[in-house]
Every structure is written in C-alpha cells, then in structure tokens.
Amino acid sequence: MISPASSNAVSGPLTSADTFQALKAICVPLLGSSLLTPEAIPRASSLLVQLGSLLEALQADTVITPSTIEYVFFPLSHILKRNPISIIPDVIMEKLMGVTATLFEHWWWSCQVDVWEQMLMLSAAIFCGIDSGTDPKGKRRDRDEETKAASARCIWAILHRRLATDISPTSEGHTESKAEERLTLFRDRARGPQTLPILGQTLTALLETSESANPHLQDLSLQLLETIISDYLPEAFIPSILPGVVSSMTKVALGRQGKASTRGNVVDKTLKVMQITIIMAVSDDICEKEGAVRTATSLEDIGNIFESDGQPRSAAPASPIVEKSPFFTPRTSVWLSATAAQLHIALNTLYSLLRHPNPLATTALSRFCHALLSNTSRSLPDSQALLLSFLLSLSTSRFPEVADASRDHLLSLLKPPSSVRFTLLQTLSHSTRDNLIALPRLLPSRSEGRVEHLARQVSAACNLSGSVHAVSDGVGKLLGPTGGIEKWGWNLLSVLEFTIPQLYISTVKATTALLEGGLGAAGLHAFPSANMKHVSSRDTREALDDMFRDMGKAAGLDGLFAVEWLVGVARNGRTSREVAALWCAEKILEGVGGLTLESTDAYKHGVSKRIEKISRWIAKVVVEFWEPGDGDPVKTDDTSLSNPESDGLLPLEYVKGLDPLITKFDLRWDQQQQSSQASVRPQHTILHKVFSLHLLSITSVVLRSRFLRLLLHVLYPILHSLVSENSYLSSTALATLQYITSATGYATSSNLLLANFDYALDGVARRLDRRQLDPEATKILVVLVRLVGKDIVSRAGDVVEACFDRLDEFHGYTVLVEGLVEVLAEVIKVVEADYESDHSQDKPSPMVTAPTDHVQAFIEWYQHRKDSVNEDDEDFGPAPRENWANIPGKGKEKETDEDPPQEPHKDTGEIDGEPPLTPTQVLTQQIVSHSIYFLTHSSALIRARVLGLLEAAGPTLTQSALLPSIHTAWPYILNRMGDSEPFVVTASASLIASLAEHVGEFMASRIWKDVWPRFRTTLSKLEEADSHSALARRGLGAVGTETAYSHSHRLYRAILRTMRAVAKGGPMKTDVLWEVLMAFRRFLHRDTHPELQLCAREFYVALMKDDADIVWLALSATLGKDAMGLSDPDMAPLAFMNQHKWEIEANAGLILSAV
C-alpha cells in the first residue's frame, strides 16, 4: 500500500488554517475508525461522506495542495492497510473510491509515476473484483454497481487526458504542455509489462459493464474504454482486442433484441469507441506500414510488388516487438482478410441505427461512417459500399442536422482534396446500378423497408450531382443509350404494378366544374394518386417517386433517352408493364424538367430544343392511345422489347395467413389465371390513360405557349377522358385540363376551350364520321354545346346536322342513338335558355289574386256602353277596299310561254303574318322533325329524352313550325302515357302540359278528347300505387309522396299544369267540369306536398273566373259547410260529397277569396 513516506514530503504550513482545522476534524476520527469493526463501520461511512463533501467544496473554491492531499490520504491508506480489501463493505469502498477520485484530480499533476501505477492497480482491482473474495458457494463475490461506478470514476481521474477546459486558471504550473508531458510519462509506464495486463483486465471488465442497466456506470465505462484505447494501448495491441471491442460495442449500440432502442448518447459513445479501435487496428496507413496492404502509385511501386518471376513478393517481416510480445497480433494480409470479413458482418448489423429516433445517434453514425471511409478505403474495400450506403441514407434523414452533416461528409469524401474520391465515385456508381437491379427482386417480396432504403440511397446519390459533376455523368450514363436500361428496365417494369384505389371520392363532377368556369390557376385540382400492388407504405411510395424524379434531375438531358425508351414500351399494349413504363417516364421527365404535378412552375433549367422536341413527340404519341383499336400491341423487331424475360426473373409468391386448402378446381383456376395473367385488364386501360394524361400535363409546362399548337391533337383525348363514367379518370382529366390552362396562360379552363373551340370541334367531327365513329364523341359534343351556349348554331351547326345522318344510319344501335339524342336535346336546352332570356320581358304578368267586384264592373259597362270608340288618326295612305285578287291586273299573273316556270315558294315560316324562321329555329325544327320517329324506340331512355326534347323545343318555335310535327307525333305521344316505364309516362305528361301552356287553342280539344280519359285512369292508378309505396305520405287522407323527386309527384304536377292551362283557355262542358272538380279536390288537403297544393289552387282559381258558383259548390260540399264562411246553407242533399278526411278549408278560402 501507499504510505506518506513513499511520496514527496512537502514541508510548510497549509494555505489556510480554517481548511486544516476542518479536515483535521474529520481525518483524526476517521483514522481512529480505520479498523472496520461492526461498530466502526457506520461512523467511518459517515466520516467519509463528510470528507467527500468538504473536498468538493474546497475543490470549487481553492486549489488543493499536495501536502493537503497527503494529509487527507493518510487515514484512507490506513483503512486499506488494516482491513483486507475482500472484507471491506461495499458502502465503505464506494465512499473511499469517491474521495480518492476527488483527490486524484489534483494529485495527478504532482504524484510520482509509482504512486500513479499503484493507484491504478488498486482501482482496477476493486473495479474488476480481483480481491473481492468469494461467496458461500465458492463463487467470486462481485461488487455492487454503485461501488463499480465509484471505482470507475477513480480510474477515470487517474487516466483521462487533462484538456485546457480541465485546467483551473488559479493553479500554478498547470499548463497544456505539462499535461501532455505527464500523459506521455504515464503512457510509457502503462505500456510496460507489469501495467499492460492490468489495462487488459480492466478493458475486459469495462466491456462487461458497458452493457449495464445503470446509466451512470455505462457512461463511465464507455468513456474509460475510449480513453484507454486511444491514449494508453500500443498500436500492436489493438488487433488483439478488436474482435471483442467491436462485438461488445455492437451489442451496446443496438440494445436489446437489436432494435436500436439504446439512448442516443450511449450510441454516440459506443460508435466513438468502435471508430477509434477499427482505425487504430486496420487503417490504411498502419496496414501499409506493416505490409498487410500494398499501394502502387508509380511504375516502381508496381515492380516492387512482384518478384522477377511474376509472383507476388512476400510481405515485409513484422517488427520485433510484435514477434516477442504474447499480447500483440501481427498485421498480415491473411489476418486482414479474415478481420475485414468479420468487420463487414458487424458493420452490417448497424443498419437498424438508420431508423434511430434520436438525431444524436444518427449523427454519430454519420461521423463513424465518414471516419472509416476516410481511413480504411484500401484495408476494408468490401465495406466501402455498405458505409457509403449508410451515409447516403442519412443524408435524406428527416432531421435537418443529420441530413446536413451527412451531406457535408459525403461532399468532403467525393471532392478534392480527398484521396479516396476516385474509389468512392466508382463505388457510388456501382452501388446505384446494383440498387436498381435489386429493386425488382425486393418489391414482390413486400420488403418495403429495404425497398425504401435502396430508393433513398439512389435519391441521395443523385442529389449530389449539383456539387459533384462526376455523379451527374454517372447517372446520365445509367439512363443513356449505354446504361443498359434494356437490362434492368424490363425487370423493374415487370414488378411495378399499379391499381386504382378501391375508394375514390370526387368532391366535384368533372364536367360540372368545367362548365362553372371556376377552374383557374388559383386553385389547382389535385391529380388523384394510384396505388402500387406491392407497396402499401406511403413512405416507400414517396421514396420510389423521388428516386425516379431525382434520377431524371441528375441525368439532365441524358435522361431523355430513358423517357423515349419507356414511352416506346408503353406503345406495345395496355398491360401492367406498359402502365409502369408510362409512370417511370412521367417521373423521369419531371426530374429532367425540374417540375412536379403539384405545381406549374416554369422549366428550371432553361429552354432546350432537345427537350422541346421530345415533349412534342410525347404529346403526339400519347394522343394515339385514344385512337379506336389502339389497344393492340405494336409489332417491333427489337429483341429487347419482344423478349423482356431474357434476364430470367424468378417469380415470387407472397402468402399471408394460414395455408389455403388447394383442390383440383383451384388448380384448374390457377392455370387459367396464369394463362391470362398478361391479358389487358380494365383498370390497366384506365391507368394507361391516366399516366398518359400526366405526361401531357408535364409537356405543357415544358412547352408553355408553344403547346397551343398541339391542342388540335390533345384536346379530344382530354375531353374524352373528362366525360368518362369512371370518376378516377375524369378527375385526372379535369386536373390535366386545369394544369394545361395554367401552363398556357389562360385564366380558366372554359376560356381555354372557348378560345380553341375549333380544335375541340374538329376532333369531335372526325369521330362522328362514318369511318371513325366513336360513341363517346357525343358526350364531348354535349359538353361543348353547354360551354358555347347560344353560339352553337353558328359555330357547330354543321356538326349538329351530322348527327342527323348518323341517326339515320345507326338508328339500330342503342348506345349511339342515346348519345346523339342527348346531343340534340342539349342543343334544344341551350336554345330554350337563350329564348327565355330574350323573352323574359314578354312574359304575362302573374295572376292577380285581388277579388273582382262583378257588380261594379257591370255598372261601369252599362254607363259607357254607348260611348264611341276613338279612331286612329294616323294616315296609312290609299288602301284597297276589296280583295286584290279580284282586281284585273293584280294578283297572280298568267304565265306566258316566254316566261320560265316559277319555282315553288320555299317555306320560310312566314304564314299569316308570322316572321320568317331564324337559323336557330330552322335547326330546332329539323331536330324536332328527326326526333319524333324515336318515340317508339325500344330504349326507354331514348323515348324519355325525345319527349323532353319536344317539351324544350315548344316555346322556341312558332306554331306553324311546331304544330305539324306535333300533329304527326300525337298518336305516339298518347301511347307513351301508357308506357311501362314511369319516367317515360312522366315525360309524356310534362310534354302535354308544356304544349297546353304554349299552344292551348290547338291542344284544348285534344286534351278533352284524348288526354283527360288517360289522366283519369292514371290518377286512379297512382292513388292505388301510393298506398303501397314506402315514400307515400302517412295519415288520414294523405296524398302523394314525401319527396318532390318521385315519379308520382312529377306526374301529379304535370297533370295539374295541363288542366290549369286548359282551364285558362276558356269554358268547358259542365259534366266534364264537374268531373274534374271532383278529381282534384284531394290535392287541396293540408298534408299534401306544398307544390301540389299551389298547382291545385291555381287550377281552381282559373276555373273560378269562368264559373265561380260551381267551384264554390264543389268546395262547400266537400267541407260540408259554406266555404266562404258567410252563411250556413243546407248541405244535406250534398252530404255524399262530404270528405272530412281532407282538410281543405284553408286552401278553399284562398281560392274563393282570389276572385
């Protein structure tokens, strides 16, 4: 043990008497309790606690002198000498080591080397448990973790390097140079034959305690490992401890079950220990120095590597110290090869640290990879790609500090003056290519984490192209003609299978949003996304998107070859492979153009003729996908396109859940599935068009205003998709149209179509031709008719007339006839809307509900019955007093032989003073005359649309133009009242109501003769049907349904409108009038729908103007009392007409008070 006599005797008084007295008050009793009996242990423990607290207070205020240190250590040494270490309790040993650690922070500057060595041995023995004795079972008794932590703190005070921050400014003689001298002195003693085994034993114990659950002990153990390895162990000793240190540190870094659950600061310290150990063991410099690695930088170096006979020259002999010492391991090429393989396995396990939630851990991993890449490029060549992949992944971390640090590390390795940049650039190029080749095998196996890892690596490598030009060249070669895209591209396309989302909710209908005209650049409609069959994670999908986009950005114009090749593949058919080709081409083109589908920013890299040429070519090729019969594969002589499975990609099966029971029927079904696996599916066709629309959007941003000349070709495919019944495709078309609108500088999409209406109309006209007929063209024409409005006659009259020819030629094809009739009906609606806006001022004033005094009117007439009528004083000039046809020389002149025969006068509609028909009315008349023949079509939808067409055309035509067609179609209209489809019956009744309102004189006799009997039958059928309908109103005397959108409600409304129009036309027969009054009383019931009540009131008010008495009688008899409430007549004879179930008193009062 250490005695005061063995240390330097420092004479002289203490610096402070108070300090001496305070220490004396503790040290003297502690010396008396140095023999640790059961009674002395509590007192010694208390005194040690007081001593430790006092020393910490003195350390903060003053510098503890060497004489004070010896005075304090004297009782401590007596405790160690008078008691065997094995029987000293842990509580005493813990406090003893703590006080010693505090003392040695100052003693380190003045103690002798022998004292330093003995204190190191003492602390190491306690920490390693060498002298701790055995338990009753004969096993070595281990100290508790608190005692180990205290002894580790003491070892730390003995060994750690004194930095400038550790030197107190008040201390005399404590400088950095002296600290370095002292450290060198202690290092030489530690590497001696007596102390080196102690350090080795301590290192072993530290590796064990580094896995402790005690955070304080674990942190101290890692700090000590770093200090011992970096400052005290010789280089020749490091290879011996390399396997153990790396293995233990890997376990500590990964935590329990290898899931990177360790604290961030622990991972940081662990990786520092691994970094120092690996670099000291297998760095390029030390391996080259000892002959394990040979480097040739000149021809002379190459000659030194080989013997004269061409055989490799043997390695230089190891240094004598390596051969003599039993603890050292020589570095040879064989040893390096084996060690490098084991290190690669250990480094590969650090993959899980990439997802560590603490940025401190990932930053430490980035620093670790950078250090190893800088110092082991030749000694660990197989691990360079792995370490580089870690750095690439960390450069895309979600933590900015980690991403920035990793990117800086990469740039420092790949840019001058780095000596390893050429090797790493080649490794980076090969790694990127290998990652692309590995993706086809990982995607079907659902290894999404691995797929995301590889995709992020490729993206990170491409993002370096802005600072490292060689990276851009490498990616450009990879996507260029010599990059072998035919090799890795086919395999990748075969596994990239896309699907339409099972649930897609569109917030607005595409055609409705277009016609509303609110689609400007202010709010872009988002493109709906597609799902990947083998990818369910959103992060993985985004990583793949970014990978292709970054590849295009890094390759620049060289990536256009890949885009052209992929679009060429997409022309071969409509299978999943062609869909994937379009998606890849879209993403690469986005990267080349520096844009995304989320915004319409301008092309970042300036206008290039090459990219403009490719964009125009893509737009024209994509348009061909909408041509009829374009789904067949294109024949080609290219073997790479015709034999995509040349690489022999093995099929992978992903099974989840229990093993299914396979029967013979299942085997037959599987064979059928495999035989049709390459067939075209409906969703593949839709996705093919969706990604084609994406490409059109991108090319529009690249070309900008120069894209306008391509609208002649691209407008029809966009509108064709816009009117699709598939909401996913129509929403994509809407987003595409809005994207092109913003790119070409138009305010709204409707403005774009109006400005280029001729282009759109040309596409529709070509698809309505007999040789290239497309049923979907009629839907597009409907949208254009709605968009253009009243100008449709002047701008597209010839196209509308072409519909007549198609109706005559293809009247047996229901789908085509439905589309053509819808176009004609839409034209009529537009004409009707324009007619109503022009004649809104000519509408009759609403019905006056104020009561009329018939007696006062009679008196006024009687008083003025003999007044003369004022003649018009205007002079119209001479006028004939007889018919000009009877005056000789007037009228029709006789035809002479010399005069040619007169052509018959064309019917212009000028009959009985009516003005000639306008072009719009002529077109409307033609539509009506061509449509009436389809009233007997087998399709109920066509019959209903034709009836609606006739109803809309009625107000716009003169009677002379309308009535001949109505007269011809009248039997068919009546037959539709007995149609099997309710909506056809409703449309027929609505047409009759419209005709009654506009041509009442013509319809009056027909209604009473032909229509009213059918109405009467229909009312009885509806009453019976409503009694069994779930939509019918409930309650006593309830009439109709709850909703105004049922067929029965619409039919009731049409019947009431018809009878109201007839009632306004003039008086009717009494028997018929009474029958009508009785039939419509129920619609005055209080619980009837308000709209039907209003129609019924208007009908009764119209009848009141002709015969108020009979209306009063019918209403009063129904109520059982005077409906006016003025008298109480005897209603007994009319009791059979009383209907108490109908509460019509309120409506009856309104009707009778209106006249």
Per residue in 173-229, pLDDT (tens digit) is: 778 889 899 999 999 999 988 899 999 999 999 999 999 989 999 999 999 999 999
**Average pLDDT, integer, range 607-622:** 90
Residue 520 contacts residue 747 (beta carbons within 8 Å)? yes
Q: Which residue has 């060429």 as its token pair? A: 568
Query: Omega before 417 cis (within 30°)?
Result: yes
DSSP state at residue 167: S
CB-based contact 1064:1101 (threshold 8 Å): no
pLDDT of res. 268:
94
Beta carbons of 377 and 284 less than 8 angstroms apart: yes
Where is pLDDT greater, at 1148 or 251?
251
Give the model's confidence band at 512: pLDDT under 50 very low, under 70 low, under 90 confident, else very high: low
Nearest-angstrom CA–CA distance, 127 and 142: 9
Q: Per the structure block, which two tokens stand in for 330? A: 């020589």
Residue 936 gets which letter from DSSP?
Answer: G
The yes-or-no verdict on residue 142 having pLDDT over 50 is yes
Give the pLDDT score at 540.
Answer: 92
pLDDT at residue number 810? 82
Strands 531-532 and 498-499 come out as antiparallel
Confidence label for 9 from pLDDT (cuts 50, 70 and 90): very low
Q: What is the mean pLDDT of residues 1012-1040?
A: 78
Taking alpha carbons only, the member of 813, 801, 804 closest to residue 774 is 813
Phi-psi region of 1035 (alpha: psi -120 to 50; beta: other; left: phi over 0): left
- Highest-scoring range by mean pLDDT, 785-794, 1070-1079, 1137-1146: 1070-1079
Query: By percentage, how much of the chain surpasses pLDDT 70?
Result: 78
Task: Please report the pLDDT score of residue 1153 as a whole number.
Answer: 80
Whole-Å CA distances, 26 to 40, 43, 49, 91: 14, 11, 10, 18
- Note whether 369 and 390 are within 8 A (CB): yes
Output 796 or 251, whichever has higher pLDDT: 251
Lowest mean pLDDT among 56-70, 506-520, 722-736, 787-801: 506-520
Q: Are 92 and 44 in contact (CB under 8 A)?
A: yes
Averaged over 515-520, what is the pLDDT?
53
Name the nearest CA neighbour of 541 among 448, 459, 445: 448
The C-alpha atoms of residue 59 and residue 296 are separated, in whole angstroms, by 57
CA distance 1065 to 1106: 10
Signed CA dihedral, 21, 22, 25, 30: sign only: negative
**Assigned token pair, 693:** 């629309």
Nearest to 224 by CA among 204, 194, 196: 204
Contact present, 228 and 206 (Cβ < 8 Å) = yes
In the predicted structure, residue 1063 carries a pLDDT above the cut 80 = yes
CB 676 within 8 A of CB 526: no
Give me the amino acid identity at 1023: E
Sign of CA dihedral 40, 43, 45, 47: negative
CB 351 within 8 A of CB 391: no
What is the structure's pLDDT at 678? 45
Share of the chain above pLDDT 90, in %: 31
Distance CA 383, CA 411 (A): 19
- Within 8 A by CB and 6+ apart from 292, the residues are 315, 331, 332, 333, 335, 336, 379
Question: Between residues 662 and 862, which one has the greater pLDDT?
Answer: 862
- At residue 809 the predicted structure's pLDDT band, cuts being 50, 70 and 90, is confident
- DSSP per-residue letters across 695-709: HHHHHHHHHGGGGGG
Q: Work out the number of other CB atoms within 10 angstroms of the CB of residue 51.
A: 24
Spatial contact of 979 and 964, defined as CB atoms under 8 Å apart: no
Per-residue confidence band for 382, with pLDDT thresholds at 50, 70 and 90? very high
Q: Rounded to whole angstroms, how far apart are CA atoms 1139 and 253? A: 92
pLDDT at 7: 34
> Which range among 789-803, 879-893, 939-953, 1050-1064 shows the weakest confidence by mean pLDDT?
879-893
pLDDT average, residue stretch 755-771:
86
Predicted local distance difference test score (pLDDT) of residue 480:
84
Hey, CA dihedral for 742, 744, 745, 748, is it positive or negative?
negative
Token pair in block for residue 19: 């300090």
User: Which residues does 659 contact at the CB level (< 8 Å), separation at least 6?
Assistant: none
Q: What is the pLDDT of residue 84?
A: 87
Say which residue the tokens 């002296």 belong to: 178
| Per-residue confidence band for 137, with pLDDT thresholds at 50, 70 and 90 | low
Reduced 3-state DSSP string for 284-326? HHHHHHCCCCCCCCCHHHHHHHECCCCCECCCCCCCHHHHHCC
Q: Is the pLDDT of residue 449 over 70?
A: yes
Q: Which one is predicted more confidently, 831 or 645?
A: 831
Q: Is the per-residue pLDDT at 1101 higher than 70?
A: yes
d(CA 282, CA 279): 6
8-state DSSP, 33: T
How confident is the prediction for the chain on average, in pLDDT? 80
CB atoms within 10 A of CB 273: 28
574 close to 624: Cβ distance less than 8 angstroms: no
Q: Are 226 and 180 in contact (CB under 8 A)?
A: no
CB 514 within 8 A of CB 748: no
Q: What region, left, alpha or beta, does residue 909 occupy, with left being phi > 0 and alpha being psi -120 to 50 degrees? A: left
What pLDDT, on the 0 to 100 scale, is given for residue 502?
80
Average pLDDT in the 736-741 region? 90
What is the SS3 assignment for 1032? strand
What's the CA gap between 586 and 597, in Å, rounded?
Answer: 10
Query: Nearest Cα to 987, choosing from 1032, 1031, 952, 1017?
Result: 952
Residues 6+ apart with CB under 8 A from 475: 432, 461, 462, 465, 551, 554, 555, 558, 559
Q: What is residue 34's three-state secondary structure?
A: coil
* Residue 284 CA: distances (Å) to CA of 281, 288, 314, 318: 9, 6, 18, 16
What confidence score (pLDDT) does residue 844 get?
42
Q: DSSP letter for 484, please.
A: -
Nearby residues of 922 by Cβ (< 8 Å), 6 or more positions away: none
- The segment with the largest mean pLDDT, out of 366-370, 844-848, 853-857, is 366-370
The structure tokens listed for 409 are: 């590390």
Q: How buried is 419 (Cβ within 10 angstroms: 0-12 exposed, 13-18 middle, 19+ buried)?
A: exposed
The CA distance from 379 to 989, in Å, is 94
Question: Is the pLDDT assigned to residue 351 strictly greater than 60?
Answer: yes
First to last CA, the chain: 131
Name the β-bridge partners of 532. Answer: 498, 535
pLDDT tens digit string along 822-843? 888 888 888 888 777 666 544 4
pLDDT at 584: 94
Residues linked to residue 499 through DSSP beta bridges, in sequence order: 531
Q: How many CA atoms lie within 13 A of 1083 on its CB side?
A: 27
Rg of the Cα atoms in the chain: 50
DSSP 216: H
CA distance 13 to 698: 89
How far apart are the C-alpha atoms of 796 and 781, rounded to whole Å? Answer: 10
Most confident residue range from 37-41, 344-348, 1136-1140: 344-348
pLDDT at 305: 57
Indicate the pLDDT class of residue 857, thresholds 50, 70 and 90: low
User: Helices 560-570 and 682-703 meet at what angle, rounded to 10?
Assistant: 150
Q: How many residues does the chain have?
A: 1155
Residue 659 has pLDDT above 60, yes or no: no
pLDDT(620) > 80: yes
Residue 136 has a CB neighbour count (10 Å cut-off) of 6
Q: Check if the beta carbon of residue 1041 is closer than 8 Å to that of residue 1031.
A: yes
Chain centroid, CA 475 distance in Å: 27
Residue 948 has pLDDT above 60, yes or no: yes
